[in-house]
Amino acid sequence: MTAYPGLDLLSTAVLLLDESLQVTYANPAAETLFAQGRTHLVGIPFDRALPGNDEFVERLARAIDSETGFNDNDLLLEVEGYPAHLHCVISPIEAAGEARLVLEFRELEQQLKIARETKILEQQQANRELIRNLAHEIKNPLGGIRGAAQLLERELSDPGHREFTQVIVKETDRLQSLMNRLLTPSRLPRVEALNVHEVIERVRTLLLAEFPRELTIRRDYDTSLPDLEGDKEQLIQAILNVARNAAQAAGRRGEVRLVTRIARQVTIARRRFRHAIAVCIEDDGPGVPADLADRIFYPLVSGREGGTGLGLSLAQSYVSQHHGLIEFDSVPGRTRFTILLPLRERTQ
């Protein structure tokens, strides 16, 4: 392998590829970014070193054929099953041994992303507090209204008027159950060691029961994942809420994929974790509506007919009780929600 000492010092990740898209060189920044040792990158075709990026590989092949490079300010690459947002500059080169293409990558505004997540989490905390207080205040008088309507019903001489008291009872019941849902995430997690696949399999069973015959669920699990410390019921509920949205978005004959991977060097709300479990829920539906994208984790935000807009807000609060985070990226035909659950470091 040719050595390029100058490139070793760069903070930008650099890969060199030969004519057949095989990696001939990777600098240390590339090893860090792609979480692989140099020996796992060099000498390996790019599509095997970083599988799951077929579209990008096609763009690389075109760049070699046409001898024209390209830039991408918003590149989404799959790195070990986990999405990485990157800025890249791809340039063809001549006369540099066997190398034909230089690939430069930078992580996209890592700092900005961290700050944004922290802000989102803080804002959500404040929102939840407000909504909980409000829900309490609304819930209290509901019992009185319902009781009074029932008393009134007994006094009514004209049975035709019962229809109206029954509307009052039915609507207070509906409000009551909405308020109960708003008030649920108050209990502290009951933590135990658990296998994330058991949790996901449970979700799969529930989903298949809810969407019989119309939904395909594919699984791609990394079975070597270690156990997780967590609250089983809360995690089932969190993943179910996300997966249910995916199933609803996928619609008839749609497909939902459940994927698990290990994620490395994850920062959530300024805390850095060496490892986290990434649970990805993907669907082939129309994607998250652009005008909602910034707000879908807020309570009562819904783009779905008949939706209460609580599913994701509850899921996010369960996951943040586990020091984790839910994020998503979405284009029509491919939406992926990633639930990151940090692993406690084992002391050896």
> Which residues are at the interface with ligand ATP (CB under 6 A)?
241, 245-246, 249, 283, 285, 287-289, 292, 296, 301-304, 307-313, 335
Task: Please state the closest distance from residue 330 (CB atom) to ligand ATP, in A.
Answer: 6
| Binding range to Mg ion, per CB under 5 A, among 6-14, 127-135, 238-246, 274-282 | 238-246
Task: Please state the closest distance from residue 308 (CB atom) to ligand ATP, in A.
Answer: 4
Per partner kind, with CB cut-offs from 5 to 8 A, the member of ligand ATP, Mg ion, none near residue 308 is ligand ATP
Task: Please state the closest distance from residue 45 (CB atom) to ligand ATP, in A.
Answer: 33
Any contact of residue 254 with Mg ion (CB under 5 A)? Answer: no
Given 185, 299, 311, 324, the residue binding Mg ion (CB under 5 A): 311
Task: Please state the closest distance from residue 260 (CB atom) to ligand ATP, in A.
Answer: 18
Are 260 and 224 in contact by the 8 Å Cβ rule? The answer is no
Q: Identify which of residues 75 and 296 has a Cβ nearer to ligand ATP in the complex.
A: 296
Given 36, 245, 260, 313, the residue binding Mg ion (CB under 5 A): 245
Q: Identify which of residues 249 and 278 has a Cβ nearer to Mg ion in the complex.
A: 249
